[in-house]
Structure 1
Amino acid sequence: MSETLHRDARIPETMVGLRLDQAAAELLPDFSRERLKSWIKRGELTVDGARARPKDKVVGGERLVLDTVLEDEVRWTPQAIALDIVHEDDSVLVVNKPAGLVVHPAAGNPDGTLLNALLHHRPALAAIPRAGIVHRLDKDTTGLMVVAKTLAAQTALVEQLQARTVSREYDAVVIGVMTAGGTVDAPIGRHPRDRKRQAVHVSGKPAVTHYRVVERFRGHTHVRCKLETGRTHQIRVHLAHQRFPLVGDALYGGRLKLPAGASDSLKELLRHFPRQALHARKLAFMHPDSGETLTLRAELPDDLWLLLDGLRADQEESS
């Protein structure tokens, strides 16, 4: 399926001197600036009937006409994969993602992803870029993700993410005993030698993570993290950089460390914990339609409850 799209707008005198893509973004707010730029370059968004460049300055009074076809992403196949839906309305969908579910198809994971599940749940998402996905969680991170069901909602949510007004809180269990919370303000970019990893280095993009202690154990800490930015693997990289890597994080955690005198049951629990101990517990954003703040929470999954119970039992036995 495909959708023919037509829009017609007149540039007001108040926009004199703006770049064409800036003016288009204000006049056609349902679409992202990047998408508008691509339409301008392809000649599908014209100025007074002629092609133009995104960087061209407007003088006021010009007529913008958009004629394009939104094609479904036919390479993505809807699949009947169960979704834990926390909230859904006409514009947004919030899911509680389980561990092991990849968000988006890619090399090595061509299907069986959250995106395939979303297309099965709501086939109309095929007309939205990336089926409405606006942010991601790692494969083995659990918790809340918001998905846009319309182009206008997607544009609004992306703008909120860029403006850092979306509130995202995570629960994590780290190796080591933290004395207090704090903030990590350290740029993150791709590791210079290992392309599977991210790293803190001066040429990376700005990244800020706030964290506070929830509960301390003999050799571990339950912490709560709040993101200002959303870099790939941000919490995992920042806490490892502080020398408090996440339990179960094979990529950033290094060699397994067991507390001295740990019980056999705790050793077994830590040795076989199957993933990084990270859960997106709380998500808050401005609803694209009402403008009201929507706040949602997801309880800890069973594996993290078991991990915390095991650490508490070990704490009690040693005291």
Structure 2
Amino acid sequence: MTETLHRDERVPDAMAGQRLDQAAAEIFADFSRERLKAWIKQGALTLDGSQARPKDKVYGGERLELHAELEDDTRFEPQAIALDILFEDDEVLVVDKPAGLVVHPAAGNPDGTLLNALLHHCPQLASVPRAGIVHRLDKDTTGLMVVAKTLAAQAALVEQLQARTVSREYDAVVTGVMTAGGTVDAPIGRHPKDRKRQAVTASGKPAVTHYRVVERFRGHTHVRCRLETGRTHQIRVHLAYKRFPLVGDSVYGGRLKLPAGAAEGLKELLRTFPRQALHARKLAFLHPRSGEPVEFRAELPDDLLLLLDYLRDDHETMR
């Protein structure tokens, strides 16, 4: 089955100097850069009404028009993987992702992903890029994700993400005692020496995270974060940059710190906590069809509840 795709966008002035394929990948974020490059070469993606080359520079203000035939994506197999679906209608579905579930197939994770599960649950998603996935969570981050079931819904949600009107709130448990909340406004890009990591770097993309204290413990803090942007590993990188790394974060967590005099149970839990202590708790956006605001919440998973209970007991015992 094929579906006709038509999109019309303007290049923001802030993208001046970028390659056309690079700018297109940010503007049409629901498609891969390779697919967009192919469409540019085919003339399906034009610049101010004319065919261009992927390497051509943009200056801001140009019109990008995408007119292509989108065929079902048969690269990925549907797989019967359980999904915790909080909401579903003809346009979107909202899932509560468990820890350990990779969102999209990639090297090292060719299947067994959320995408494979979505294709099994809703076969029509084969005709939507990335099976309707418009934003991601790390493999070991739990919580809410919205998936678009149609091209129109996907375009609307991507537009909202780019306009920063999608509200995303996370719970995190960090090492260190915060005195107050605040905002981290620091660009994030590839780590200059380790390409598998992200870092705060002057050459990175703008990234803004707001955070506030929910509960303090002797050596840790329960924090609530709100994303203004959606960079890879953003909360993990920003809080580590502020010297409050997430509990269990093997990439950005640094050296393990245990509260002095803590009971063996808490020490063991902190030593062996199997993932970064991060949960996408709230998601709010405008419904793609009705335009009405919708909001969803996901309760903390059992492992984070257990961690908070141990930290709370330690705090009360050692007062």
Category of TM-score, reference length = shorter chain:
0.7 to 0.9
Contact 1:96 1:298 in 2 (8 A): yes
Partner of 1:78: 78
Partner of 2:12: none
- 1:6 CA drift (Å): 8.1
Partner of 1:144: 144
Quick one: structure 1 residues 317 and 287, their matched pair in 2 at CA, closer, same or farther if it must change by over 3 Å? same
* 2:227 counterpart letter in structure 1: L
CA distance in 1, matches of 2:120, 2:174: 36
- 1:70 CA drift (Å): 2.1
- 1:74 CA drift (Å): 1.3
Quick one: structure 1 residues 168 and 107, their matched pair in 2 at CA, closer, same or farther if it must change by over 3 Å? same
- Cα RMSD after superposing both structures: 2.7
**Mapping of 1:180-195 within 5 angstroms?**
180-195=180-195
Partner of 1:232: 232
Q: TM-score, normalised by structure 2?
A: 0.84
Structure 1: gaps (5+ residues): 10-20, 22-28, 56-63
Deviations 1:208-263 (A, max 9, x none): 00000000000000000000000000000000000000000010011111000000
- 1:4 CA drift (Å): 4.9
Quick one: structure 1 residues 52 and 84, their matched pair in 2 at CA, closer, same or farther if it must change by over 3 Å? same
Deviations 1:258-282 (A, max 9, x none): 0000001111111111100000000
Contact 2:3 2:127 in 1 (8 A): no
Quick one: structure 1 residues 268 and 37, their matched pair in 2 at CA, closer, same or farther if it must change by over 3 Å? closer
Are 2:291 and 1:297 aligned? Answer: no
Deviations 1:170-190 (A, max 9, x none): 000000000000000000000
Q: Any idea what SS the aligned residue of 1:229 has?
A: coil
* 2:169 counterpart letter in structure 1: E
* 2:210 counterpart letter in structure 1: H
Quick one: structure 1 residues 204 and 261, their matched pair in 2 at CA, closer, same or farther if it must change by over 3 Å? same
Contact 1:172 1:224 in 2 (8 A): yes
CA distance in 2, matches of 1:247, 1:298: 20
Partner of 2:4: 5
Structure 2: gaps (5+ residues): 9-19, 21-27, 57-64
Deviations 1:53-86 (A, max 9, x none): 599xxxxxxxx995x5322221100000000001
Runs of 4+ in 1 over 2 A off after TM superposition: 4-7, 34-41, 43-46, 50-55
Contact 2:247 2:270 in 1 (8 A): yes
Are 2:251 and 1:251 aligned? Answer: yes
**Mapping of 1:99-248 within 5 angstroms?**
99-248=99-248
CA distance in 2, matches of 1:164, 1:197: 24
Contact 1:40 1:51 in 2 (8 A): no
Q: Any idea what SS the aligned residue of 2:104 has?
A: coil
Deviations 1:157-179 (A, max 9, x none): 11110110000000000000000
Contact 2:5 2:70 in 1 (8 A): no
CA distance in 2, matches of 1:167, 1:121: 26
* 1:291 counterpart letter in structure 2: G
- 1:5 CA drift (Å): 3.0
Contact 1:144 1:281 in 2 (8 A): yes
Are 2:95 and 1:91 aligned? Answer: no
Deviations 1:127-146 (A, max 9, x none): 10000000000000000001
Partner of 1:24: none
Q: Any idea what SS the aligned residue of 2:70 has?
A: strand
The structure with the largest alpha-carbon Rg is 1
Quick one: structure 1 residues 70 and 242, their matched pair in 2 at CA, closer, same or farther if it must change by over 3 Å? same
- 1:39 CA drift (Å): 4.5
